[in-house]
Amino acid sequence: MKNILLIGTGRFGRHIAVQLSQLGHQVMAVDTNEERISDVLPYVTNAQIGDSTNAEFLRSLGIGNFDVCIVTISGNFQNSLETTSLLKELGAKYVVSRAERDVQAKFLLRNGADAVTYPEKQLAKWAAIRYTANHIFSYIELDEQHAIIEVAVPEDWQGRSIGELDIRRRYGVNILGVKRENKTDVNISPETVLDADMTLLVLEENQKLKKHFHL
């Protein structure tokens, strides 16, 4: 369990609050809007109405006591940037800030953010791949070079073992596990036989994934 400071409780912030609550974390929510704070109260440990660009207000929260500070302010990049910078100045251990444009991500990283989340861009890329490739069931980008995909077993791999196919050497991809009937099995071996009823969880460089699985 971690102590999380969540600044900004609009639609995206509220979704994060719900997920953090389900994971069992303690969440302090902050927003300038009383109505948004009321909406998020069922999912957070505590909440305050306040201006996150005010250094004294942030200092009163005890920034150093939070394991992660998440800034999800939308529609006002200046406030998001100021908040991110102030959090770091006040001793925040780890700051994650939301970006809505590429240039915003760069500024946030230069001004105190340890990481940036760009939900619109990330979801757009996932949706574009997921819904234009019939054999791709999930896509998780790890960085610009690597991704994990859940993919149907290629027809010419079916009925053959991982060892027989020599997948790592011949294709340069890493099979992390297999999935069948929504159950994931990571205890795979060279003797594991692939069939049409399962999907593969594959980690590799994006270019190799595109080549072998036609992304």
* pLDDT tens for each residue of 155-203: 889 999 988 988 888 877 788 889 988 888 889 888 999 998 998 888 8
Q: What token pair was written down for 7?
A: 């600044």
Kindly give the residue spans of alpha helices, DSSP state H, lying in the chain.
11-22, 34-40, 55-60, 77-89, 102-110, 119-130, 162-165, 167-171, 206-213
Give pLDDT, residue 42.
95
Predicted confidence band at 5 (pLDDT cuts at 50, 70, 90)? very high
pLDDT in the model for residue 168: 82
∠ CA 136-141-145, nearest 5°, is 110
- A 10 A CB-CB count for 38 gives 13
> Which domains are assigned to the chain?
3-117 (3.40.50.720), 122-213 (3.30.70.1450)
Phi and psi torsions of 109, nearest 5°: -65, -30
pLDDT of residue 208: 62
Cα-based angle 143, 145, 148 (whole degrees, multiple of 5): 70
* Residue of 78, 81, 75, 120 lying closest to 97 (CA atoms): 81
- pLDDT greater than 90 at residue 9: yes
Q: What share of the chain is helix, strand, coil (3-state, %, to 5)?
A: 40, 25, 35
Q: Is the pTM of this model over 0.75?
A: no
Condensed to tens digits (0 to 9), the pLDDT of residues 74-122 reads 889 999 999 999 999 999 999 999 988 889 889 999 999 999 987 766 6
* Residues 140-158 pLDDT 10s: 767 777 778 888 888 889 9
Q: Say yes or no to pLDDT of 215 above 70.
A: no
pLDDT at site 181: 85
- The C-alpha angle 25, 31, 32, rounded to 5 degrees, equals 170
Higher local confidence (pLDDT), 52 or 128: 52
pLDDT at 206 > cutoff 70: no
Q: Flag whether pLDDT at 138 surpasses 80.
A: no
